[in-house]
Structure formats: structure tokens, C-alpha cells
């Protein structure tokens, strides 16, 4: 488990929290590694490795490394790193012991327990950003909780913590995202500009700005901003693929089809062939499925032959139902790849699990709706997508990501000449009338 040392001197991180380590250089490396993770930078694991070279018994560097490994879905390695953290934390502070315990629960997939531990931890240590981080964001513990009120819940937590952070750049970016998804667009816009002014190369803030632009219906400024940001963003940074997805949708909507399809081929679709930026598997699946599906809806999809490849990726990386957002997109991939048996197994699993987990019930029903659309059964597609549209919030994803369902429903209603239904849906979500 490494050489763990309990004879530590006290140092502090950027949030003024004590760090138990024998080395100022290790503490400095840890602070840089944390900032790189919070900014969705490149080489996330290597920064924590650098701290551990300097102090192999630094528990927080071990658990930080575990968090990065888990982000890339390297589960066995993440659990091993978490075990090393636990072996080294006995002589550290009470805050660090609680920090390691909460993050270990998350790394072991015990989401409800992890969120409860995070809430408890933050009541005493509200500025412990690394413990707060897994609860935030679209794919965080609250975002994937399956609760209808998840957006309001996350915003309430961040509103409560805001006095402890002020305009700190990472917190400002996640706070702005929560405001954006909850409809507080003016506050979100002002806050994300402050976050970017404080840390212009923060990939998380760039992502939030893309969402704010989207909700404000500003495709031109958004595309310009993303082009400039990606030009200087590392090729192997965490959000390189997903920011490219955002830009590709904007390029296609603006009529720049060649640029749009190049982004798919070179960035967010490339991991399907083992190329491109290192991207969390959930982003690979959902971004590629959403892109191909949405381009087909507008009749401009030269990459439709990739559906079998996507279906194979879904089977390999998400072999069992259980992550609702992945299951919805896997259903779409199986339907478009003509893999009826895989689709049926997935839908049956979501039905069984959905008895106790409403998010999986909704994902399965919406997946059936997408499959009906793929085979040209407009009536069934419209019925299922309309019936479960509101529960799409349980499945997860941002407003922009959930428009996969809305745009498909809009097309199904058009096929049925249901003008009243189209008008009602368009009024509820005007963004689906433009672009892709």
C-alpha cells in the first residue's frame, strides 16, 4: 500500500484547508493537480502521481488520483487508489479522514451513501471543493439521482455554499451551470463571465458558457467563443470531445457541414476507433449517439454507417442496464443498428429495474419511443415520447442533451400532421425550432 507516514507537518491548500504531508513540494503539486481537475484539464492522473512521488504517504493525493481514474471509468485502478488513500489516512486530520471516506463511497458506486456523506462533510468543511465536486454537474451524484427535482436541489446546495466561496473560479462555474439549468439565466451569464475572467482556460467554465449561450439562443457568439477556446485547449483535455460536440451542433446549424462532420470524425466520435482525446465512456456514447441521431433528423448524416460501431461500444462499455442516461442512448444505438435482440434485452431490463427506479422506467419507455421512430412507427413514437417527456429529467443530462427526445417527438408529430401537438411542444421549448 505504499510507505504511509503519520509524522506530518501541516500545510494548506488553495481553499485554506490543512494538508497532512511531509513535503511542501508535494503539497504544491497536489494543489496544481486539484486545479487541473477542477478546470477539466489534461493529464489529470499525472498531477496526483507527481505529488505521490514526492510523498508516497499523502492520502489526499491518493484519493485525488482515484477520482481522476474513476472519471475515465478505470474502475479497478480507482478502487485500488482509494484503498491506498485509506491505508495512509489514519495519521491525517479529521477533515482529511472524512474527505477520503466520502470520496471512497463514490468511487465504489455507493451513490446515495456518498451523497449523504458529502452533505455531512460540507456542513463542517464547506470549502472542501474536492468533496463537493462529485455532487455537482450534469453527471454528478445529484444529476444522476433520478429525482425530478434534482436541478432545484443542486442549485439550493450551491446557493447555500456560495458565501463560503465568493467568486472563486471553479465554484462560480458550477454555480452558474446550476443557475442555467434552473432557468436563472441572467445570474448564470454574469457569473460565468466572472469565472472565465478569473480563469480563462477553465474547460468547465467554457462548457457552462456554451450552455448559457444555448439557453439564450445565441448560436453565433457561442460558436465563435468555442472555436477560440478549443484552439488553445489541450488536445487531450477532459472536455475536448464534449466541447467539440457543442461546436459541431452549432456548425451544422449554421450550414458549416464540413466543419461539423470533421469535429465528429476527429474529436468526439474518434474514441470509437481508439483515437481522439481521452474521453469518459459515458460522454463517448451519449455524444456520438446524440450527434448521429440529430443529424439524421435534419437529413445530413454521412456517418450513419457508424451505428453498428456505436452499438458495439454500448454493449462493451455498458453491458447491463442501470445508468439511465446511458441506457436511453444505447437503446437508440441498438435501434438504428438493427440489433433487435440487444434492444429487447435492454428494454426488458429497464422495465424490471424500473419497478423500484423511476429513472430507468422512464429511460426504457423513452428508448422504446426512439426505437419506434427508427422503424417508422410515428404513432407509437409520439405516444411514448410525449407520455414520458416530462420524466426525461429523471434520466439525466442537460436541457440541451435532453432535446434528443424533444426533437424526435417534434418530427414524429410532423409525420402525423399533428399541428396542435407541434405548436404546444415548440412553445414549451423554443430552442428545438432552430439548428440541430
CATH number for the domain harbouring residue 372: 1.25.40
**Spatial CB neighbours of 250, under 8 Å, sequence gap ≥ 6:** 219, 222, 223, 226, 435
In a domain, 201, yes or no: yes
What is the structure's pLDDT at 9?
A: 54
Instruction: Give the domain-ending residue among 197, 216, 235.
Output: 216
Q: Which of 181, 84, 106 is nearest to 393 (CA)?
A: 181
Q: Which of 353, 350, 354, 352 is nearest to 368 (CA)?
A: 350
Question: Contact at 8 Å (CB) between 28 and 54?
Answer: no
| Residues 319 and 411 grouped into a single domain | yes
| Residues 174 and 301 grouped into a single domain | no
Q: What is the mean pLDDT of residues 98-122?
A: 97
| Residues 116 and 175 grouped into a single domain | no
Enter the DSSP assignment of 320: S
In a domain, 249, yes or no: no
Q: What is the mean pLDDT of residues 314-340?
A: 97
In a domain, 171, yes or no: yes
Q: What is the mean pLDDT of residues 153-163?
A: 98
What is the structure's pLDDT at 436?
A: 65
| Residues 117 and 141 grouped into a single domain | no
In a domain, 241, yes or no: no
In a domain, 262, yes or no: no
In a domain, 39, yes or no: yes
In a domain, 243, yes or no: no
d(CA 32, CA 30): 5
**How many CA atoms does the CB half-sphere of 366 hold within 13 Å?**
32
d(CA 416, CA 434): 20
When the pLDDT of each residue in the chain is averaged and rounded to a whole number, the result is 95
| Residues 106 and 21 grouped into a single domain | yes
Structure-model confidence comparison of residues 2 and 11, the more confident one = 11
In this structure, how many other beta carbons lie within 10 angstroms of the beta carbon of residue 374?
21
What is the structure's pLDDT at 22?
A: 86
128 to 14, 58, 226, 251: CA distances (angstroms): 10, 17, 30, 39
pLDDT band at residue 300 using 50, 70 and 90 as cut-offs? confident
Q: Quick one: how many helices (H) and strands (E) in the chain? A: 23, 2
| Residues 290 and 411 grouped into a single domain | yes
pLDDT band at residue 432 using 50, 70 and 90 as cut-offs? confident
169 to 11, 80, 261, 387: CA distances (angstroms): 22, 31, 33, 40
CATH number of residue 65's parent domain: 1.25.40.10
What is the structure's pLDDT at 435?
A: 61
**Spatial CB neighbours of 397, under 8 Å, sequence gap ≥ 6:** 138, 286, 325
- pLDDT for residue 54 is more than 50: yes
d(CA 349, CA 351): 5
What is the pTM for the complete model shown? 0.95
Instruction: Give the domain-ending residue among 167, 186, 216.
Output: 216
d(CA 261, CA 270): 11
Per-residue buried b or exposed e for 163-187, using 16+ beta carbons within 10 Å of the residue's own CB: eebeebbbbbbbbbbbbbbbebeee
d(CA 31, CA 20): 13
- pLDDT for residue 245 is more than 60: yes
| Residues 203 and 345 grouped into a single domain | no
| Residues 311 and 384 grouped into a single domain | yes
| Residues 152 and 200 grouped into a single domain | yes
| Residues 166 and 111 grouped into a single domain | no
The total number of structural domains that make up the chain: 3
pLDDT band at residue 301 using 50, 70 and 90 as cut-offs? confident
- The domain of 17 spans 9-122
In a domain, 225, yes or no: no
Enter the DSSP assignment of 8: P
d(CA 218, CA 225): 11
Read off φ and ψ for residue 391, nearest 5 degrees: -80, 0
| Residues 56 and 158 grouped into a single domain | no
What is the structure's pLDDT at 431?
A: 78
d(CA 351, CA 348): 5
Percentage, residues of the chain above pLDDT 90: 93
The alpha carbon of 12 is separated from its chain's Cα centroid by a whole number of angstroms, namely 30
Instruction: Give the domain-ending residue among 87, 122, 157.
Output: 122
| Residues 88 and 208 grouped into a single domain | no
- pLDDT for residue 3 is more than 50: no
- pLDDT for residue 6 is more than 50: no
**Spatial CB neighbours of 50, under 8 Å, sequence gap ≥ 6:** 29, 33
CA angle 419, 422, 423 (to 5 degrees): 85
pLDDT band at residue 434 using 50, 70 and 90 as cut-offs? low
What is the structure's pLDDT at 5?
A: 44
- What stretches of 72-141 show up as alpha helix (H) in DSSP? 75-88, 94-107, 111-124, 129-132
Enter the DSSP assignment of 299: T
What is the structure's pLDDT at 430?
A: 80
Amino acid at each position: 500500500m505504499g510507505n504511509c507516514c503519520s509524522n506530518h507537518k501541516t500545510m494548506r491548500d488553495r481553499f485554506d484547508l490543512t494538508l497532512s504531508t511531509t513535503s511542501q513540494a508535494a503539497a504544491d503539486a497536489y494543489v496544481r493537480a486539484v486545479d487541473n481537475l477542477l478546470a477539466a484539464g489534461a493529464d489529470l492522473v499525472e498531477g496526483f502521481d507527481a505529488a505521490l512521488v514526492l510523498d508516497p504517504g499523502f492520502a489526499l493525493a491518493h484519493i485525488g488520483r482515484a477520482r481522476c481514474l474513476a472519471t475515465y471509468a478505470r474502475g479497478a485502478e480507482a478502487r485500488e487508489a482509494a484503498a491506498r488513500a485509506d491505508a495512509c489516512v489514519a495519521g491525517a486530520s479529521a477533515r482529511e479522514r472524512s474527505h477520503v471516506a466520502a470520496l471512497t463511497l463514490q468511487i465504489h458506486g455507493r451513490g446515495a451513501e456518498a451523497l449523504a456523506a458529502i452533505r455531512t462533510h460540507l456542513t463542517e468543511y464547506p470549502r472542501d471543493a474536492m468533496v463537493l465536486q462529485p455532487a455537482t454537474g450534469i453527471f454528478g451524484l445529484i444529476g444522476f439521482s433520478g429525482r425530478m427535482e434534482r436541478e432545484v436541489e443542486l442549485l439550493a446546495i450551491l446557493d447555500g455554499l456560495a458565501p463560503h466561496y465568493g467568486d472563486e473560479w471553479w465554484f462560480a462555474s458550477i454555480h452558474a451551470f446550476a443557475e442555467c439549468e434552473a432557468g436563472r439565466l441572467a445570474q448564470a451569464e454574469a457569473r460565468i463571465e466572472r469565472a472565465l475572467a478569473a480563469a480563462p482556460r477553465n474547460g468547465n467554465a467554457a462548457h457552462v458558457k456554451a450552455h448559457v449561450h444555448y439557453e439564450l439562443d445565441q448560436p453565433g457568439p457561442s460558436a465563435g467563443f468555442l472555436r477560440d477556446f478549443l484552439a488553445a485547449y489541450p488536445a487531450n483535455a477532459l472536455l475536448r470531445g464534449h466541447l467539440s460536440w457543442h461546436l459541431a451542433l452549432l456548425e451544422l446549424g449554421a450550414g458549416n457541414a464540413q466543419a461539423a462532420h470533421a469535429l465528429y470524425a476527429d474529436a468526439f466520435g474518434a474514441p470509437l476507433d481508439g483515437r481522439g482525446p481521452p474521453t469518459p465512456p459515458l460522454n463517448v456514447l451519449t455524444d456520438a449517439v446524440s450527434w448521429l441521431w440529430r443529424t439524421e433528423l435534419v437529413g445530413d448524416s454521412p456517418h450513419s454507417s457508424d451505428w453498428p460501431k456505436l452499438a458495439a461500444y454500448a454493449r462493451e462499455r455498458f453491458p447491463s442496464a442501470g445508468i439511465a442516461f446511458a441506457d436511453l442512448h444505447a437503446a437508440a444505438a441498438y435501434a438504428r443498428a438493427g440489433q433487435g435482440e440487444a434492444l429487447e434485452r435492454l428494454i426488458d431490463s429497464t422495465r424490471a429495474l424500473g419497478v423500484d427506479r423511476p429513472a430507468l422506467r422512464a429511460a426504457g419507455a423513452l428508448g422504446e419511443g426512439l426505437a419506434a421512430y427508427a422503424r417508422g412507427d410515428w404513432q407509437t413514437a409520439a405516444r411514448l415520447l410525449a407520455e414520458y417527456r416530462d420524466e426525461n429529467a429523471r434520466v439525466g443530462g442537460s436541457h440541451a442533451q435532453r432535446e434528443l427526445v424533444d426533437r424526435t417527438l417534434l418530427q414524429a408529430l410532423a409525420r402525423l400532421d399533428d399541428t396542435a401537438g407541434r405548436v404546444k411542444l415548440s412553445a414549451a421549448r423554443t430552442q428545438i425550432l432552430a439548428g440541430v
